[in-house]
Structure 1
Amino acid sequence: MKEMTSVQMDFLLPDTRPDHVQLDSGAVLLPGFALQDAKTCMLAIDHITQQAPFRKMSTPRGGQMSVAMTCCGTFGWVSSSHGYSYTKVNPSTGLPWPKMPAIFKNLARKAAQKAGFAEFHPNTCLINAYSPGARMGLHQDRDEGCIDQPVVSLSFGLEAIFLWGGLKRTDPTRPILLKDGDALVWGGPDRLRFHGVKPIRSGSHIRTGATRFNITFRFVIP
């Protein structure tokens, strides 16, 4: 029998964390929430990326994001030298963004409900692919034109250290370990908290290889 790596063995260990962790009044971690649907979500990502491939976008300051991204739903988030925006058309293909899969929408709504946000209606989904070393700097999700609905984030594959900050960029951050299948939901008084992701450590996941996938849902008003 082929010897398993430490990462693969850890994947097989039972998750003893509670299924509901209140981080702040409007922020909840749901460990393992989407784990049973991970395979279906990976197939959905494959289908989406056949229509809208992952790409590393430029930043307003002229750099390049270390995270590869694509989108699905009514709108997609784009970054360029001109700034950040949501568009109905994928600028890389000239086509509308792929339709949001039912499994995505159902998981997003269920996670939001479990976190205390009963009326979440996501119309936008950002899909991020992190390779080892990729990171996400501290930022607020404020391009949506609406902060009345929460953000729902699903993690698959390699682990990540999520940085949970305050309402100011200079506020201290709290590191939160995100594992395969975890859901993170924030809204209400915590909707505009700064957050980010530390550089992903090298590893190999039994399902996603050397990649962490993050699926993030929002409600956007154009």
Structure 2
Amino acid sequence: MEETVNESLLAGAESDSLEGIEAALAAGADIDFNQLENWSPGEDASLTPCTPLYVACLRGNVDVVKLLLRKGASVGKRALGASVPLHAAASNGHTEIVELLVHHGATVDIQDPFKNTPLMVACYRNHVDTVRRLIEFGARPDLTQKLGIEDENRDFAEESVKLVREARNSKLLRCCNPKCGKPGYRKTLKRCSQCKLTRYCSRDCQIQHWSVGHKKCCGQDKYIDEEPHPMEKAERIEGCLFMSTT
């Protein structure tokens, strides 16, 4: 029964059905269900290997995302390929959903196993508004240069690359508390002592960001190279759907 309601929850997210999602949750579905976590050879591999929130962020349905977040969905739960909902929203240029995720504590500089951040993904696909908003939320513009994203996409993503370069040349980063966003030099901003990925201009901003959601995803933010690469498991899942952000 539990497996059935979990499948119904994923189906509801995939079909943008608020009623289906509500019904599945009322029946006891796991809001962060991901078949990849407990999958073993011989089991059904037809379900999308990511959480309902990840699916909704890919699809861009704001109402479904709001519902799942309101019900407590994790913004840090990784999908196949080890990307997170913020990667999914950024990859498809869903700026409003990016804003929702960040306001619920998502880490703007979270990385997948290939060290892609949401800003890199948005820049690579030339989602200009999303690139601009992520920079406003404190995403580090210097990380794109390290992987050559700008050189690869200089012609296709000219406007996005320009925004990233302007942000980097200013030598300023922003407070990662979305209700603040105050610009400051790196040496004046304080990093979260646990994940070391978020930066704050004051203790008050850190406390506020912690309370709205960073507490839930801090510690899940950094992909650990020593962990088994999710693709190793995915290769054994016949017919599974790989949702790449690269």
Normalising by structure 2, report the TM-score.
Answer: 0.28
Considering fraction of residues, name the structure with more helix.
Answer: 2
Structure number, greater radius of gyration:
2
Q: Which gives a bigger RCO, structure 1 or 2 (Cα 8 Å, sep 6+)?
A: 1
Q: Provide the TM-score with structure 1 as the length reference.
A: 0.30
